[in-house]
Structure 1
Amino acid sequence: MHDHRKLGRELDLFDTDPLMGAGLPYWLPDGAAVRHALEEYVRGAERRAGYRHVYSPVLGKRELYEISGHWSHYSEDMFPPMDLGGEQVVLRPSLCPHHALIYRSRAHSYRELPLRMAELGGMYRSELSGVLGGLTRVRAIQLNDAHIFCTPDQAADEARAALELIRRAYEALGIRAARYRLSLPGPGGKYVADPGMWQRAAALLREVLDDSGVPYEAAEGEAAFYGPKIDVQIADGAGREATLSTVQVDFHQPEQFGLHYIGPDGAKHRPVMVHRSIIGSVERAVAHLIEVHGGAFPAWLAPTQLAVLPVSDAEMGQAAGLVRRCAGLGLRAEIAGADHGTLGARIRAARLVPYQAVIGAKEAADDHVAVRLRDGRRLDAMPADEFLARIGALVDAHSTELWDGDAAG
């Protein structure tokens, strides 16, 4: 497995600058393309699963985090408050208090539940300089977050559905879980003091894991301060584990924010808040993808999906036309013309690109392309439109396969 800190810079995906500060990487165009494709995949998967997307501010009043419990249980990991107009505001360490307020802003009936609210939003954590590194430990985080507000008897089904979304995402990304962990409270005072709440939430998550049939281990001391969680662990080449995806059950914040819905009896009832993240932070997800794939991303994620290689300057017009057709189809293509070296050198330079379309005089005359796949296979020359349709279908399906049929060797 590769080191994403080294390879990510070599591939011009991301970098850092001392004037921006430690733990604050910036994304270069190729890295931004990977990130955008990943974010759009997640949004699409969430929409199909019945989520609605929101945007919320990255700042909140200190009082907001006092109510949620973050200030008393988590303030050492938060940035200091800023004085603003006689009030103190804080860069948020989490999105859940904002989503609780959005839920609270409107009346809700049991008929609306479960209400699934999702956001790809920024949050900020005051990590110590010594633990920062690459994209895995940063101070500005883009989190794929969602909160499901549901009745108590819906919570287990929603948590199970979240685990299935995570499973399908890992399949599309070409990654695997190292293990599943049931994260429980441990000794110490960082947790909300409500033993009954903890027992109820842990029992629900055990049921979900048992029903899902995935092996898991319980780990004390790894829970969130407000509730237990399922952590989906990934591992790097050295076997070091990190949490990528989570499913959490929260009875605490609905109580703290006074959330309710009107039940069939006409009375107010307290919803359960299920937190879940399919890919965790975009930064950590991309770091893992770089290391797993060595920069040879699945075609739907690749920053450049198709390298167009005209044999000589005479085919440049045909090559430019093919790139324009790709743009119209939502495919990312670039020309590597003869001024970039010999054809062999250009093919080697594009070794991480999923598809290479070579255009010689005959192909240009017939509107065909000679296709090379990243794995070394060569396909018979085919009409350009057919080729683009076939790779477009694979990209749209978020497939990890390079081709959907037999290819000549």
Structure 2
Amino acid sequence: MVTRLQFQEETMHDHRKLGRELGLFDTDPLIGAGLPYWLPDGAIVRHALEEYIRDAERRAGYRHVYSPVLGKRALYEMSGHWQHYSDDMYPPMAVGGEQLVLRPSLCPHHALIYRSRSHSYRELPLRIAELGGMYRSEMSGALGGLTRVCAIQLNDAHIFCTLEQVAEEAVGALELIGSAYRALGISAARYRLSLPGPEGKYVAGQDMWEQASKLLVAALDGAGLEYEAVAGEAAFYGPKIDVQVCDSAGRESTLSTVQVDFYQPQQFDLHYVGADGAKHRPVMVHRSIIGSVERAVAHVIEQHGGAFPAWLAPVQVAVLPVSESESSAAAQFLDRCTAAGLRAQVLDSGSLGARVRAGRLVPYQVIIGPIEAANGEVAMRLRDGRRLAAQPADVVVSHVGALVNDHSADLWAA
């Protein structure tokens, strides 16, 4: 039985409540259930997260693409989604005598992008990434906040590689996931090896499933991760590694995934030219580092109670002039922060104590009194309660900027 205190603790960090109170997102019945919109501060968080993941992927050798959110029904028949996943898809739209469908996944489009050009074994592994929209028809009773939505912005990628490269590419994806979680200040509850179950919702090919599963086990072992094998949780086309996280109420969900797919390369007749001059079939490794942007932000809200890591915070620096006499110095410091790429805001309405409380979730509070203004310095109050002696304004901006650019979990480091 859940006690009243436990219920209060759970709801205090429930992203549905906190996200609205902090002005991050909201919903409207005229838009529809499962279709939240992002408010300005929420859009800042989302943009910062998207910038981080794009840069991390670029550094890891991924190339980014854009693809349409619509496709012909025939595309999803070829990929297998229509036969195995249509219950979760929106119905086709009749357009000019053809049936168009809102995509439930990005992988068919990426298979076509790969197929549009010839490839040599020298190009592999070819890593194609996209932060793209996809749509899933969910029952209204299952929708809620940002964790269960109909319009999804997915951090997706597909690696086309040789059989010998699969395990190493999967390990690389797991390492990217670990780095992202450290930057976000979150952790995995467990790693799950999701295997097919006895139901008939999976594509045929026992050898294909066994080989793909062995490759994922090799990746988990290579990354030194403990895991639990669970039947019935695989994708319809192949097994996967699911990185599980827990919300404020202890409910578990999947945030990140790594999947091995032999099926879609076969369906789309993908190939590359090997060293022997013959055509060979690539393997398709699906992976998502932070999963959907919506679910990732929901989890970060709950994990931190709105006190985001500095690089992700909507306002990174709150500038508090002690009195109106320091307004000019506060404006100059604000300009320095803006020029350095920091998100800063002057809080000058109300008593100093009230402003300190209003900015309690801001990572850095900069106090400027008459002495600091005269000396070109600022005093620092960190979100964790630490107070730092006055320092030159340029030194503070440089130090905070370096910590933010490094996506550091430390608010201040010597």
CA distance in 2, matches of 1:397, 1:150: 31
Please give the secondary structure, in 2, of the residue aligned with 1:56. coil
* 2:114 alignment counterpart: 103
* 2:367 alignment counterpart: 358
* 1:79 lines up with 2:90 in the alignment: yes
Normalised by the length of structure 2, the TM-score is: 0.96
* 1:349 alignment counterpart: 358
**1:79-118, CA deviations, whole angstroms, 9 ceiling, x for partnerless residues?**
0100111111011000000000000001100000000000
CA distance in 2, matches of 1:74, 1:201: 21
* 1:183 alignment counterpart: 194
* 1:232 alignment counterpart: 243
* 2:224 alignment counterpart: 213
CA distance in 2, matches of 1:222, 1:376: 44
- The 5 Å alignment of 1:305-316 reads 305-316=316-327
Task: Give 1:132's match in structure 2, choosing from 119, 124, 143.
Answer: 143
CA distance in 1, matches of 2:201, 2:339: 53
* 1:154 lines up with 2:165 in the alignment: yes
CA distance in 2, matches of 1:330, 1:103: 37
* 2:210 alignment counterpart: 199
- Give the superposition deviation at 1:317: 1.9
* 1:256 lines up with 2:272 in the alignment: no
* 1:276 lines up with 2:287 in the alignment: yes
**Paired letter, 2:406:** A
* 1:401 alignment counterpart: 410
Task: Give 1:389's match in structure 2, choosing from 359, 378, 398.
Answer: 398
CA distance in 1, matches of 2:128, 2:339: 32
**Paired letter, 2:330:** A
CA distance in 1, matches of 2:279, 2:222: 31
Task: Give 1:370's match in structure 2, choosing from 350, 357, 379.
Answer: 379
Task: Give 2:254's match in structure 1, choosing from 243, 246, 252.
Answer: 243
- Give the superposition deviation at 1:404: 0.4
Task: Give 1:24's match in structure 2, choosing from 23, 35, 38.
Answer: 35
* 1:59 lines up with 2:70 in the alignment: yes
* 1:292 alignment counterpart: 303
- Give the superposition deviation at 1:362: 1.7
* 2:4 alignment counterpart: none
Task: Give 1:142's match in structure 2, choosing from 133, 141, 153.
Answer: 153
- Give the superposition deviation at 1:238: 2.2
**1:249-285, CA deviations, whole angstroms, 9 ceiling, x for partnerless residues?**
0000000001000000111100000000000000000
**Paired letter, 1:135:** L
- Give the superposition deviation at 1:237: 2.4
- Give the superposition deviation at 1:329: 1.1
Calculate percent identity across the aligned residue pairs.
75
CA distance in 2, matches of 1:174, 1:8: 18
CA distance in 2, matches of 1:298, 1:207: 33
- Give the superposition deviation at 1:14: 0.5
* 1:326 alignment counterpart: 337
CA distance in 2, matches of 1:221, 1:259: 28
* 2:5 alignment counterpart: none
CA distance in 1, matches of 2:330, 2:103: 48
CA distance in 1, matches of 2:247, 2:296: 12
**Paired letter, 2:380:** V
CA distance in 2, matches of 1:317, 1:80: 59
Q: How many residues align?
A: 403
Please give the secondary structure, in 2, of the residue aligned with 1:31. helix
Please give the secondary structure, in 1, of the residue aligned with 2:306. coil
* 1:165 lines up with 2:176 in the alignment: yes
Please give the secondary structure, in 1, of the residue aligned with 2:133. strand
* Structure 1 gap ranges (5+): none
CA distance in 1, matches of 2:145, 2:370: 45
**Paired letter, 1:341:** G
Normalised by the length of structure 1, the TM-score is: 0.98
CA distance in 2, matches of 1:131, 1:369: 49
Please give the secondary structure, in 2, of the residue aligned with 1:265. coil
**1:44-75, CA deviations, whole angstroms, 9 ceiling, x for partnerless residues?**
11011000100000001111000000000000
CA distance in 1, matches of 2:30, 2:286: 35
